[in-house]
């Protein structure tokens, strides 16, 4: 069974500082994809970043980057230069390449403090 | 711009009533999904469809049904609403059947359902 675990229900960070959100997953698949989605108070789910498991290089998107450790099954999200607009719920998600399903973690609520 | 829309955005109903949540996407995606979001559970898959006339049960399908008569729409029906079905419901679609290039999930804005 595929599971995704986010062990930090809530986090906070000062504006302009850096914060790291943790995610671990469990799978027997070898080819899969990992995602971080952001859900601001508007409820809209927005893709932040994605990582292909076969790529060793960590994905980056502007201020967002990941630390992907395949052997440890860890996929953390680093947000640099945090902004007030980063305040949101963040969901880690896993999707095996062989299937059509996404498996989501329980989310981490991030608050950026001015 | 292509989009995915859900209606209604908010609904209050009574136990035992039938409720239908609409989902319409203009991406022309074959793959569509319904999730429910609850505190402490994240998003859980209710039903999904790979194309017209195709529907499949997800992790929490009991009490829900879907039908796919065209590419654009996947309505979710609660045959007899129960208080345990109070939740926020998200519809999503994606271009490809499996993850990979173009494998991103696109979400609607969610429908908050309260069953009294």
**Mean pLDDT within A83-100:** 89
Q: Residue A12: which pLDDT band, with cuts at 50, 70 and 90?
A: very high
> Inter-chain contact A42–B99, Cβ cutoff 8 Å?
no
| Mean pLDDT along residues A43-69 | 92
Average pLDDT of the segment spanning A73-98? 94
Phi, psi (5° rounding) for residue B83?
Answer: -60, -30
Say yes or no: A101 contacts chain B, CB-CB below 8 A: yes
SS3 assignment, position A114: coil
Beta-strand (E) ranges in A6-87? Answer: 10-14, 19-21, 24-26, 32-39, 46-52, 60-61, 64-69, 74-79
Inter-chain residue contact B45 with A43, CB threshold 8 Å: no
Is A29 a residue whose pLDDT tops 90? Answer: no
Strands B87-94 and B31-38: antiparallel
- The per-residue pLDDT for B100 is 62
Contacts of B103 in chain A (CB under 8 A): 33, 95
Is A97 part of the contact surface with chain B (CB cutoff 8 Å)? Answer: yes
Q: Which of A50, A99, A104 sits opposite B98 (nearest CB)?
A: A99
Specify the pLDDT at position B41: 85
What is the rounded distance in angstroms from the CA atom of residue B50 to the CA atom of residue B97? 7
Look at residue A89 and tell me whether its pLDDT is greater than 80. yes
Q: Is the pLDDT of residue A15 over 90?
A: yes
pLDDT at B112 over 90: yes
pLDDT in tens, B91-102: 999 887 666 666
Say if residue A31's pLDDT is above 70: yes
Q: What is the percentage of chain B residues whose pLDDT exceeds 90?
A: 79
Using pLDDT thresholds of 50, 70 and 90, give the confidence band for residue A102.
confident
User: What pLDDT, on a 0 to 100 scale, did the predictor assign at position B104?
Assistant: 80
pLDDT in tens, B27-47: 899 999 999 999 888 899 999
Strand partners, B111: B89
Rounded average pLDDT over B73-102: 88
């Amino acid at each position: 069974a595929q599971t995704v675990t986010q062990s930090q229900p809530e986090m906070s960070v000062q504006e302009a500082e850096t914060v790291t959100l943790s995610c671990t997953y469990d799978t027997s698949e070898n080819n899969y994809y990992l995602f971080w989605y952001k859900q601001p108070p508007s409820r809209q789910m927005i893709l932040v970043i994605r990582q292909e498991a076969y790529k060793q290089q960590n994905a980056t998107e502007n201020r967002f980057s990941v630390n992907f450790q395949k052997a440890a099954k860890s996929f953390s999200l680093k947000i640099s230069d945090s902004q007030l607009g980063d305040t949101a719920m963040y969901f880690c998600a896993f999707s095996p390449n062989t299937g059509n399903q996404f498996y989501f973690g329980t989310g981490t609520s991030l608050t950026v403090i001015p | 711009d292509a989009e995915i829309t859900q209606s209604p955005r908010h609904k209050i109903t009574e136990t035992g009533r039938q409720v239908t949540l609409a989902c319409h996407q203009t991406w022309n995606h074959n793959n569509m999904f319904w999730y429910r979001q609850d505190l402490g559970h994240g998003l859980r898959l209710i039903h999904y469809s790979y194309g017209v006339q195709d529907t499949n049960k997800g992790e929490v399908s009991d009490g829900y049904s879907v039908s796919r008569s065209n590419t654009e729409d996947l309505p979710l029906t609660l045959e007899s609403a129960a208080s345990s079905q109070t939740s926020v419901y998200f519809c999503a679609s994606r271009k490809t059947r499996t993850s990979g290039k173009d494998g991103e999930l696109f979400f609607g804005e969610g429908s908050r359902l309260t069953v009294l």
